[in-house]
Every structure is written in structure tokens, then in C-alpha cells.
Amino acid sequence: MTEIILKDNLEQRKIDALLNFLKSWDIDAELRITNAEKSTEVIEFSLSKGIWSDYDINSEELRDKAWKR
């Protein structure tokens, strides 16, 4: 099975046109409408990893220096 995911809400006439096109090529098509899943995971910004791990700087200092340019 191959899936095609349309990420934007489309007008019904466009969906119908797409389904009709696929069926005209003898492609068995099915429409499933799902709600988008929103991530509830909070990712914390950490300076302890990556390029700043060898420097004596915290996230607040880094933000201050970046925004004062």
C-alpha cells in the first residue's frame, strides 16, 4: 500500500477531483480524514551539549549577546 498525505485542508471539490482522477487510472483510492496531532513534548534548550559544551557561558548570557547585535 502507498499513502499520500495531504497536509492542508482542501476544498471538497478539489478532493473529489483528485479521487476522480485516480479512479480514472484504475487506482483504488480511499479518503480518510484525521485530526493533526500536536506535539505536547517540551524540548528544553540546553547549552551543555553541542558547540557550547566547552565554553563557560549560560543560556541567558548567550541570548543577551545574540539580541544586542
Which pLDDT does position 46 carry in this prediction? 65
Compute the distance between CA of residue 21 and CA of residue 25 in angstroms, rounded to an integer.
Answer: 7
Confidence of residue 48 (pLDDT cuts 50, 70, 90): low
CB 23, CB 33: distance < 8 Å: no
Confidence of residue 7 (pLDDT cuts 50, 70, 90): confident
Which pLDDT does position 22 carry in this prediction? 94
- Vertex 17 angle, CA 16 and 21, to 5°: 115
* pLDDT greater than 70 at residue 34: yes
Tell me which of 32 and 43 has the higher pLDDT: 32
Compute the distance between CA of residue 47 and CA of residue 59 in angstroms, rounded to an integer.
Answer: 6
* Residue closest to 22 by CA, chosen among 7, 3, 37, 35: 3
